[in-house]
Amino acid sequence: MTEVLELAKRLMAAESVTPATGSVFDRMEAMLAPLGFEVTRFTRGDGAAGSPEAPVENLFAIRHGPEGSGHFAFAGHLDVVPPGGGWTSEAFEPEVRGDMLYGRGAVDMKGAIACMVDAVKDVPKDAGTISFIVTGDEEGPALHGTRALIDHMREQGHRPDLCLVGEPTSVDRLGDMMKIGRRGSVNIWLEVEGVQGHVAYPHLADNPIPRLVAILSDLDALVLDSGTEWFQASNLEITEIDVPNNAHNVIPERAKARISIRFNDLHTGQSLSERIGAIAKKHGGTALPIVSGEPFLTPPGEFSEIIAAAVKAETGVDPEPSTTGGTSDARFLRSVCPVIEFGLVNATMHKTDEAVAVEDLSTLSRIYTRIAKDVLAR
Ligand SMILES: [Zn+2]
């Protein structure tokens, strides 16, 4: 059994459905401390379990290089999504069958965290400063996770030059894709208020439904942009229409809908919120936006080239720089330093029987070693 496989199994065996605290962080600390890392752990949030304010644990670890040396950061999360049913083996009892390791978190992303830990063993201490930015709240509301870690780093004066997030970005085989950016995301709750009444006496009522339909019709016709060099076109989806009404002869007093926009770097959460708000207002409605992330882009350059070279050397594959998919904690880390995401094959993430090829763990560990060394050697 290789050492990186052992590290992955140890992390995966600690149940850590989001938001995560405790045991999985104990194990992470026990792995990093002997490697010379100063480990800081703190918990944020004091709400009840299941609430958005439920406690979340975070871990920041740093191993200082010589004075004036570079600082490279690995970032990721130790929380996982709930296992769901139908597993062949227990979700939190990692098991190797054939050449695959099965268990929740295998690729998203305890496997990658294990690779990071294993990778730094081969980076000499005098190469430079290395840190780990690890949260227990990425799969949840992300209120007290990476954002709190960034606050902690600012307070302590830790500022990495570059950050690699280990999300599972590979698609068909390890190395075929890295994420150099992500789209932003905003959800908007629309509401139109009318006056309830009898359908036979419409002059005494005010039906909100035609006005909501007019809003949605305008929104559906909206072309936000046609994409950029690095991003696909921004997209607006109507995700819910809600007009509770149990009676056939009543004009309802209220009509609601919800939309979700994934947008590129031609927009901000605020610019879109204002635009949608104006359309809702035109038809007598209101719009309540919640921005869950702004887009980020680390344009191809030195950092992406270092990653591509490391991937090519270990796998023979040229990773495609991409900005597809959902949001990740890179949306917060972008405020600290340039960020790129690269990790395992994502085919089974969030699914039953999540699994990683055992071989990929060793390969990714070597890729991460190369990236850390090459970034610090710049
Ligand atoms: Zn993840």
- Whether 317 and 263 map to the same domain: the answer is no
Nearest to 23 by CA among 76, 75, 80: 80
Q: 46-50, 107-111, 201-205, 346-350 — which is least confidently predicted?
A: 46-50
pLDDT at 100: 98
pLDDT exceeds cutoff 60 at 230:
yes
Q: How far apart are CA 52 and CA 236, in angstroms?
A: 26
pLDDT (mean) for 75-81: 97
Domain edge (last residue) among 275, 293, 311: 293
CA quadruple 19, 21, 26, 32: dihedral sign:
positive
pLDDT exceeds cutoff 90 at 326:
no
**Active site residues per annotation:** 79, 138
- Whether 109 and 145 map to the same domain: the answer is yes
Q: How far apart are CA 358 and CA 5, in angstroms?
A: 7
Question: From the CA of 354, how far away is ligand 1's center (Å)?
Answer: 13
Q: What is the mean pLDDT of the chain?
A: 96
Instruction: State how many domains the chain has.
Output: 2
- Whether 207 and 315 map to the same domain: the answer is no
pLDDT at 75: 98
Question: From the CA of 314, how far away is ligand 1's center (Å)?
Answer: 23
For tokens 């109507």, the residue is 238
pLDDT at 1: 47
Question: From the CA of 185, how far away is ligand 1's center (Å)?
Answer: 17
- Whether 230 and 169 map to the same domain: the answer is no
pLDDT at 322: 96
For tokens 């050397």, the residue is 313
- Whether 218 and 260 map to the same domain: the answer is yes
- Whether 78 and 220 map to the same domain: the answer is no
Q: How far is CA 36 from CA 30, 109, 121, 151, 360, in A?
A: 11, 23, 10, 23, 26
Question: From the CA of 64, how far away is ligand 1's center (Å)?
Answer: 27
CB 102 within 8 A of CB 36: no
Nearest to 348 by CA among 142, 83, 136, 74: 83
- Whether 65 and 208 map to the same domain: the answer is no
Q: 155 is written with which tokens?
A: 């307070």
- Whether 26 and 154 map to the same domain: the answer is yes
pLDDT at 2: 65
pLDDT at 143: 82
- Per-residue pLDDT tens over the stretch 168-204: 999 999 999 999 999 999 999 999 999 999 999 999 9
- Whether 323 and 176 map to the same domain: the answer is yes
CB 330 within 8 A of CB 182: yes
Q: Which residues surround ligand 1, an ion (CB under 5 A)?
A: 108-109, 167
CATH code at position 274: 3.30.70.360
pLDDT exceeds cutoff 50 at 314:
yes
- Whether 285 and 306 map to the same domain: the answer is no
- Whether 224 and 167 map to the same domain: the answer is no
Q: 137 is written with which tokens?
A: 């709240």
Parallel/antiparallel/unpaired status of strands 71-77 and 129-135: parallel
pLDDT at 52: 80
Q: Classify residue 223 by burial, with Cβ atoms within 10 Å: 0-12, 13-18, 19+.
A: exposed
CATH code at position 62: 3.40.630.10
What domain range is 268 assigned to? 184-293
- Per-residue pLDDT tens over the stretch 121-137: 999 999 999 999 999 99
Domain edge (last residue) among 264, 293, 322: 293
Q: How far apart are CA 193 and CA 281, in angstroms?
A: 12
- Whether 346 and 213 map to the same domain: the answer is no
Domain edge (last residue) among 237, 270, 293: 293
| Per-residue DSSP letter, 345 | B
Nearest to 228 by CA among 305, 323, 339: 323
CB 69 within 8 A of CB 160: no
